[in-house]
Amino acid sequence: MRDIDFMAVYERVMKQIKEGAFLTVRAGEALNTMTIGWAAIGIAWRKPILMVMVRNSRHTFGIIEKAADFTVSVPGGEAKKALAFCGTKSGRDVDKFKECGLKAAPGRHVASPIIEIPGIHIECRIVYKNPIDPALLTRDYDPLYPAKDYHTLYFGEIQACYEA
């Protein structure tokens, strides 16, 4: 396990997130992981920030709304099958960990675990959120929301970023 500067690995991280990464959230006993393909990383409020987005129709939404933190596990190796599964199946219906043979490993700084895969893991505490206000979103993006299940944006202050 090796601590890394999020800026130095941005290109690798963002290119893989575009292909898929695991967003994992725990709130009390509730735990789920889902595939994300969007995120933004930067500096805000003088802190390193990772923003993720969850549609309010998702099983993960009910969990992250009660959670204090989340993790993003960015696979360094082959993970297409698990990413496809976790991006299309719901944690309401299946145990994604069992079905995909994924293991949750304890977070170092947050209650949410990481996915135990080789890659880059980012642990965040939630510092701000914004349920998208469709009135303020360009109409050009309406085709992304045929069911009006808008995302909530979660801004996580990066607590740890490491390669495992």
Does residue 13 contact residue 37 with C-beta atoms inside 8 Å?
no
132 near a second copy (CB under 8 A): yes
38 near a second copy (CB under 8 A): yes
- Rounded to whole angstroms, how far apart are CA atoms 47 and 149? 30
133 near a second copy (CB under 8 A): yes
Joined together, the tokens standing for residue 48 give: 């390193």
84 near a second copy (CB under 8 A): no
- Rounded to whole angstroms, how far apart are CA atoms 149 and 54? 10
- Rounded to whole angstroms, how far apart are CA atoms 72 and 134? 26
- # chain residues binding a second copy, by CB under 8 A: 36
Out of 3, 93, 136, 147, the only residue in the binding site for a second copy (CB under 8 A) is 136
Full DSSP string of 62-91? HHHTT-SEEEEEEESS--HHHHHHHHHS-T
- Closest by CA to 24, choosing from 13, 12, 16, 35, is 35
Stretch that binds a second copy, among 31-39, 59-67, 79-87, 91-99 (CB under 8 A): 31-39
3 near a second copy (CB under 8 A): no
**In this complex, which beta carbon is closest to a second copy, that of residue 117 or of residue 157?**
157
21 near a second copy (CB under 8 A): no
**In this complex, which beta carbon is closest to a second copy, that of residue 37 or of residue 106?**
37
39 near a second copy (CB under 8 A): yes
- Rounded to whole angstroms, how far apart are CA atoms 164 and 105? 11
Contact residues for a second copy, defined by CB under 8 A: 7-8, 10-11, 14-15, 17-18, 37-46, 49, 51, 53, 126-130, 132-133, 136-138, 140-141, 144, 153, 157
